[in-house]
Chains A and B, each alone.
Chain A
Amino acid sequence: MAEVEGGCELFSAGHRACGGCGPALAARLLLKATGKNTILVASTGCMEVFSTPYPETAWGVPWIHSLFENAAAVASGIEASLKRQGRSEKVVCVCGDGATFDIGVLCISGAFERGHDITYICYDNEAYMNTGIQRSGATPYGASTTTSPAGSCSLGNTLRKKDMPAILAAHGSPYVATASIAYPNDFVQKVERAINTPGPCYIQVHAPCCTGWGFEAGETLAMGKLAIETGLWVNYEMVDGVVEKAKKVKRKPVEEYLSKQKRFRHLFKPRRDDEIAKIQAIADANAERFGIDIKAKESSE
């Protein structure tokens, strides 16, 4: 256990993340939103490892990591403990997509069903980065990872991204939102709203990983923006299970996003128009479902 030195940034610059790391940016924004009166619970993954090599820590708020899969259960205990002691800290989980979509689902489901007053934030970098870029339930269709590699007879990950927000909304969560580190103010506002909403709230923040996706470190925000502009990622809020406020865009073709990342390189050499079309169809379906398209007329106004 290491004690934290004072300082104005609650997430300090002295961490070990790759330059241009989306999740590191998410951590910093997150603490700007929560402020000091927060207890953070982390799962095993990149963020845990890059922020707490003993005896150093980047966290200016109390922070606990237990295991890969039990952050939501640990948070349940913390919340119950604070309640018993009459304390008022906010309990916030911050976990990767693997910890959230795959191995931690049991604990998350239990915590949401029980209605603990916690905020669960999934930083979604769309694979297990800490162990070397393996596929998770959040990995998008067509991406090559080390466990879903593209090869002479494979086109990478052929499974669709799991709809975690819908799953958690179905648990009766009062507030579920998606966000992106490319829209920092929006993310910060959503975190503020979540921690001030009683009950279990969920935010999934898109956090591009330059190392895992294969793009230049300076392109992180641009990549986050392109995901939204193509419709492959949608920023929206769900209140009591009903979608409100989805971010509208004038959509660009998915190719613009895919062609800039090594994880989709196999779709271009040789060119697989049929596969790119499938991914375009996913974006189109997102646009339809969330009504995000700005019509030509609207945009000229």
Chain B
Amino acid sequence: MLEFMEGSHAVAEIVKRCRPQVIAAYPITPQTHIVEDLAQMVANCEIDAEYITVESEFSALSACLGASAAGSRVYSATTSQGLALMFEVCFNAAGMRQPIVMTIANRSLGAPLSIWNDQQDSISLRDSGWLQLYAEDNQETADLHMIAYKVCEDHDILLPAFVCFDGFILTHTYEPVALPSQEEADAYLPAFNPYQRLDAAKPLSMGMYATPEYYMEFRYEIDQAMHRAKQALVKAGREFGEQFGRDYSGLVEGYRLDDADVALVAMGSICGTVKDAIDEMREAGRKVGLLKIRTYRPFPASEIADALKNVSTVAVLDKNISLGNGGAVGTEVKSALYGSGISVYDYIIALGGRDVRKRDIAAVVDLAEKGKGDMFYGLRTEVL
């Protein structure tokens, strides 16, 4: 049944149905409503979880790490400065192979202080060993949480995951969302079965230090698990489709791409605007399509190359900037298409919450067709 609700509330509702046993989070705009909703659910005994009111994001993720190591399913949520404060623990949680799921309400990073959306925060942690999933709307955001837990806790994977959705644009927007009943959720996501846990009956040491003789193998194992996660995501996404009728078996998704000459590539809520812009451009006879990337880590390079093999021009929309080099997604798409002869142009767009309209998408397509790209789009030159 579809219910009309705020994006953050949809996240809290789905997290409840995932049955976390320990929740630790610290408020930060625009993630706050999620942790408030969960706190209320715990207060109402709707969730049977320990809710730890930590004193910082750094402690939030540290507590999740400890709780997970001791054998509980855990949950946290953050964004922007909060995620930056967790940087050290993010690497540690992945290195210790803890299947923590954390929602990222994507927001830009200061300075200057900005509470509005871009994807710089999670992108900046792309090398931390966390899976990164990006949602286009609130339905997808909710669904990806169940898929994330399933994949993370798979004993062949054992990696943590960010479920990313755009701050304000999705967190604070009311949309109809279908949520599973608790029984349906339980049928999809079984109870947490830790691979190993801190347990006095079977002592083990976790998080030891490794000399140069051993360290590299740990990184290799994480990388291998990341690659295996592709298949696990496809499988979990297909199973989700079979049970709930919404299929997520693709790491990428095409929109009117089959006969397109120009393809836009994007992640997150901007894809909705892009689709509308494409519909208009199609009416005007322009052969434009979209490739939406849902799974940024692991990066679906071969899936991208396959999906884009028939286009001549690609325009990547990046809501982040790797300063001094260009957008992160653009750089990786270029590498995925290396040697294909396809022209790939990167556009840094909508940083710090700047609005994107259909006409902007059309303008980007014009630029790409003229061979102009690898630039910030929409700069206010009068203030430069």
A and B from one assembly?
yes
A interface, CB within 8 angstroms of B? 1-4, 36-39, 41, 48-49, 52-55, 57, 59-67, 69-70, 73-85, 89, 106-107, 109-111, 113-114
Question: In the complex, which of the residues B54, B62, B204 contacts A4, with contact meaning CB atoms closer than 8 Å?
Answer: B204
Q: Is the CB of A66 within 8 A of B92?
A: yes
Nearest CB in chain B to that of A88: its residue: B200
Q: Is the CB of B207 within 8 A of A70?
A: no
Question: In the complex, which of the residues A36, A70, A81, A114 contacts B58, with contact meaning CB atoms closer than 8 Å?
Answer: A70
Known: A64-B66, A77-B70, A81-B22. A54 touches B204 (CB 8 A): no
Least Cβ–Cβ distance between A275 and chain B, in angstroms = 38
User: Interface 1/0s, chain B 117-129, versus A by CB < 8 A?
Assistant: 0000000000000
Nearest CB in chain B to that of A71: its residue: B62
Q: List 27 A-B contacts (CB under 8 A).
A: A1-B206, A3-B203, A39-B70, A39-B200, A48-B209, A52-B205, A60-B203, A64-B198, A65-B206, A65-B207, A66-B89, A67-B92, A69-B58, A70-B59, A70-B89, A73-B58, A73-B63, A76-B54, A76-B62, A77-B24, A78-B66, A80-B24, A80-B52, A80-B63, A81-B22, A81-B74, A107-B56
Report chain A residues within 8 Å CB of B50.
Answer: 80-81, 83-84
Report chain A residues within 8 Å CB of B69.
Answer: 64, 74, 77-78, 81
- A293 CA to B182 CA, complexed, in Å: 67
| B211 at the A interface (CB under 8 A) | yes
- A106 CA to B59 CA, complexed, in Å: 8
Q: Is the CB of A59 within 8 A of B203?
A: yes
- Top 9 A-B residue pairs of the complex, sorted by shortest distance between their CB atoms: A77-B66, A77-B63, A110-B55, A73-B62, A74-B66, A77-B67, A81-B70, A52-B208, A73-B59
- A39 CA to B202 CA, complexed, in Å: 11
- A82 CA to B198 CA, complexed, in Å: 10
B interface, CB within 8 angstroms of A? 21-22, 24, 48-50, 52-56, 58-59, 62-72, 74, 88-89, 92, 96, 196, 198-200, 202-211, 214
Nearest CB in chain A to that of B198: its residue: A62
Question: In the complex, which of the residues A59, A75, A81, A107 contacts B205, with contact meaning CB atoms closer than 8 Å?
Answer: A59
- A4 CA to B150 CA, complexed, in Å: 30
Report chain B residues within 8 Å CB of A3.
Answer: 202-204
Known: A39-B200, A66-B92, A77-B64. A84 touches B49 (CB 8 A): yes
Report chain B residues within 8 Å CB of A110.
Answer: 54-56, 59
Least Cβ–Cβ distance between A1 and chain B, in angstroms = 5
Q: Is the CB of A113 within 8 A of B55?
A: yes
Nearest CB in chain A to that of B54: its residue: A110
Least Cβ–Cβ distance between A74 and chain B, in angstroms = 4
Nearest CB in chain A to that of B96: its residue: A66
Least Cβ–Cβ distance between B153 and chain A, in angstroms = 15
Least Cβ–Cβ distance between B61 and chain A, in angstroms = 8
Report chain B residues within 8 Å CB of A113.
Answer: 55
Known: A57-B208, A65-B207, A73-B58. 14 other contacts (CB 8 A): A4-B204, A4-B205, A53-B211, A57-B205, A67-B89, A69-B58, A70-B58, A70-B59, A74-B69, A81-B69, A82-B70, A83-B50, A89-B200, A109-B55
Q: Is the CB of B72 within 8 A of A81?
A: yes
Known: A73-B62, A85-B21. A66 touches B207 (CB 8 A): yes
Report chain A residues within 8 Å CB of B54.
Answer: 73, 76, 110, 114
Report chain B residues within 8 Å CB of A84.
Answer: 21-22, 48-50, 72
- A14 CA to B211 CA, complexed, in Å: 17
Interface centre among B54, B66, B67 (most CB of A within 10 A): B66
Q: Is the CB of A81 within 8 A of B203?
A: no
Q: Is the CB of B49 within 8 A of A63?
A: no
- A163 CA to B50 CA, complexed, in Å: 32
Nearest CB in chain A to that of B215: its residue: A54
Question: In the complex, which of the residues A2, A48, A61, A70 contacts B62, with contact meaning CB atoms closer than 8 Å?
Answer: A70
- A77 CA to B66 CA, complexed, in Å: 5
- A74 CA to B92 CA, complexed, in Å: 12
Report chain A residues within 8 Å CB of B211.
Answer: 53-54
- A53 CA to B209 CA, complexed, in Å: 5
Report chain A residues within 8 Å CB of B205.
Answer: 1-2, 4, 52, 57, 59, 62-64
Least Cβ–Cβ distance between B155 and chain A, in angstroms = 14
Report chain B residues within 8 Å CB of A75.
Answer: 66
- A109 CA to B199 CA, complexed, in Å: 26
Least Cβ–Cβ distance between B46 and chain A, in angstroms = 16
- A63 CA to B63 CA, complexed, in Å: 15
Report chain A residues within 8 Å CB of B58.
Answer: 69-70, 73, 106-107
Report chain B residues within 8 Å CB of A107.
Answer: 55-56, 58-59, 62
Report chain B residues within 8 Å CB of A69.
Answer: 58
Report chain A residues within 8 Å CB of B71.
Answer: 81, 85
Report chain B residues within 8 Å CB of A63.
Answer: 203-206
Nearest CB in chain A to that of B205: its residue: A57
Interface centre among B21, B54, B88 (most CB of A within 10 A): B54
Nearest CB in chain B to that of A107: its residue: B59
